[in-house]
Amino acid sequence: GQQLNQSPQSMFIQEGEDVSMNCTSSSIFNTWLWYKQEPGEGPVLLIALYKAGELTSNGRLTAQFGITRKDSFLNISASIPSDVGIYFCAGQLRSNYQLIWGAGTKLIIKP
Amino acid sequence: DAGVIQSPRHEVTEMGQEVTLRCKPISGHDYLFWYRQTMMRGLELLIYFNNNVPIDDSGMPEDRFSAKMPNASFSTLKIQPSEPRDSAVYFCASSLSLTRAGELFFGEGSRLTVL
């Protein structure tokens, strides 16, 4: 079946550092989305990307839709404690609009 | 505005018992999704509805699982009989339209523990 490779699996960083994570697939996606999940809550949509090459920012977050339509990255600049959580990428196929999910990147900020 | 509302937040039951999880989507959203999340398998789509009609239930693990959406503001996911391997967090999510079907609004989830 369809799979997304999300990396890294986890990140231990200092407050103030920049963060980068990415997702790749063997399939071409129509849409890339990035979600964040905090403990005890459901995922929350951060950024949605609809065009190849699109670069979109949401505050300190920036995400790009890869030009090949098979990859996407998410950057977080100047991390703060509330950035802690699990970040998921998701790709949407044109054919059936179903979302394919990455396994998540767990972000931990060292005190 | 109220988001997606799920109940119960936590459920602990014994193997063999029936479990019913409930969801109220965001008003005006045409799509409703049921997901299951475990450490081993991540987020798995179980079933989704469009305008109260089930569209794809290929993710439903087996006949013990069933889902209904009797009206636009209510859906249930039922497990009968429940088994320990059903222990997971079950999420309901809704989205506005087909062109934005990936933009999901999730509830807080129902954590199910089957002993």
Among residues 40-59 of chain B, which lie with CB inside 8 Å of chain A?
42-43, 45, 56
Q: How far is B85 from chain A (nearest CA, A)?
A: 20
CB pairs under 8 A between A and B: 44
pLDDT tens column, A58-82: 999 999 999 999 999 999 999 999 9
Q: Which of A98, A101, A105 to mutate to test the interface with B (most CBs of B within 10 A)?
A: A98
Q: How confident is the model at residue B23 (pLDDT cuts 50, 70, 90)?
A: very high
* Average pLDDT of span A78-103: 90
Query: Do B43 and A43 make contact, defined as CB atoms within 8 angstroms?
Result: yes
Query: Do A42 and B43 make contact, defined as CB atoms within 8 angstroms?
Result: no
pLDDT tens column, A24-58: 999 899 899 999 999 999 999 999 999 999 999 99
At B84 the three-state DSSP class reads: helix
What backbone torsions phi and psi does residue B4 show, to the nearest 5 degrees? Answer: -75, 130
Query: To the nearest whole percent, how much of chain B has pLDDT over 70?
Result: 99
Paired sense of beta strands A71-76 and A61-65, if any: antiparallel
User: Would the pLDDT of A1 be above 70?
Assistant: no
Q: How confident is the model at residue B97 (pLDDT cuts 50, 70, 90)?
A: confident
pLDDT tens column, B35-91: 999 999 999 999 999 999 999 999 998 899 999 999 999 999 999 999 999 999 999
Locate B24 and state its tokens. 């109220």
Locate B46 and state its tokens. 């179980």
Tell me the chain A residues in contact with residue B106 when contact means C-beta distances shorter than 8 Å: 41-44
B74–A contact, CB cutoff 8 A: no
What backbone torsions phi and psi does residue A66 show, to the nearest 5 degrees? Answer: -60, 150
Distance CA B107, CA B95 (A): 12
Tell me the chain B residues in contact with residue A23 when contact means C-beta distances shorter than 8 Å: none
Residue of A nearest to B6 (CA): A42
Q: How far is A20 from chain B (nearest CA, A)?
A: 21
